[in-house]
Amino acid sequence: MAEPTEEELQEWHKDIEYLVGALKESFESADARHSIDEMNDTLYIELEGLQDYSEEEISEIAGPLLETIDLDFEDIILLPL
């Protein structure tokens, strides 16, 4: 597979920022941040206040967003901030 161009990398980062922002808004979080574990191909998204939701509520809220964004991570893990 060819190396991504600078433009493709910028779009990829924009998609990540969009997802983090959408999740932050959906969970009414005051703060959010993300990190990428390239070795394990995992995106970690930390959201303030996430601990106030049950696992079922998190799945209901985040599921549709995660399904619409195609970021090609092995895992996307949501964590409380």
Q: Please give the structure tokens belonging to residue 39.
A: 């070795």
C-alpha–C-alpha distance, residues 4 and 74, integer Å: 18
Residue 41 neighbours by CB distance under 10 Å:
11
| pLDDT tens per residue across all 81 residues of the chain | 578 799 988 998 999 999 999 999 999 999 999 999 999 999 999 999 999 999 999 999 999 998 888 788 999 999 999
**Cβ(35)–Cβ(23) under 8 Å?**
no
Stated pTM of the model:
0.88
Listed in sequence order, the residues at least 6 apart from 24 whose beta carbon sits closer than 8 Å to its beta carbon are 31, 32, 47
DSSP string, 42-77: EEEEEETTGGGS-HHHHHHHHHHHHHH-----SEEE
